[in-house]
Amino acid sequence: MATWDDVDRVAAVLPDTARDGARQWRVHGKSFAWERPLRPKDLAELGDAAPGEAPLALWVADEGEKQALLGDDPGTFFTTSHFDGYAIVLARLDRVPVPELEELVQDAWLARAPKRLAKEYLAASE
């Protein structure tokens, strides 16, 4: 399963990515993945389902993708009311296989990267 070192390794190879702070990755100044410690309100909301470790927050393409991840694997992906209206999911990193993490981080980067940069990246990846 994935670790924070895996997140760092995957994000580091994406163009124009900077690590900001301890565990926050940005593309062109916009966050796309970060450690999101749960706040007291989050813990109260989640109850016994709250993970013991801070989750990874990831931007996704849109609300449809968010709902698909939440529905497909609710043991790994979750959200709180804080993220209502945002295309962001929280993930229990210790339940994410590394190949899936690679896809999730790349997709988060694509969701936040400038269109020109994303287009160039995808063209070079083909």
Per-residue 3-state assignment (H helix, E strand, C coil) for 56-110: EEEECCCHHHHHHHHHHCCCCEECCHHHCCCCEEEECHHHCCHHHHHHHHHHHHH
Query: Which residues constitute the domain of residue 24?
Result: 4-121
Domain-located, residue 111: yes
pLDDT digits (tens, 9 = 90+) for 71-118: 999 999 999 999 999 999 999 999 999 999 999 999 999 999 999 999
Domain-located, residue 61: yes
Q: What CATH number is given to the structural domain containing 115?
A: 3.90.1150.30
User: Average pLDDT for residues 5-9, to the nearest whole number?
Assistant: 97
Structure-token pair, residue 79: 């959200």
Q: Are 82 and 54 in contact (CB under 8 A)?
A: no
Domain-located, residue 126: no
Binned at pLDDT 50, 70 and 90, residue 125 comes out as confident
Angle between helices 4-12 and 98-112 (to 10 degrees): 50
Question: How many other CB atoms sit within 10 Å of the CB of residue 15?
Answer: 13
Total domains in the chain come to 1
* Radius of gyration, alpha carbons of the chain: 14
30-35 sheet: strands from edge to edge = 17-19, 24-27, 30-35, 56-59, 88-91, 77-78
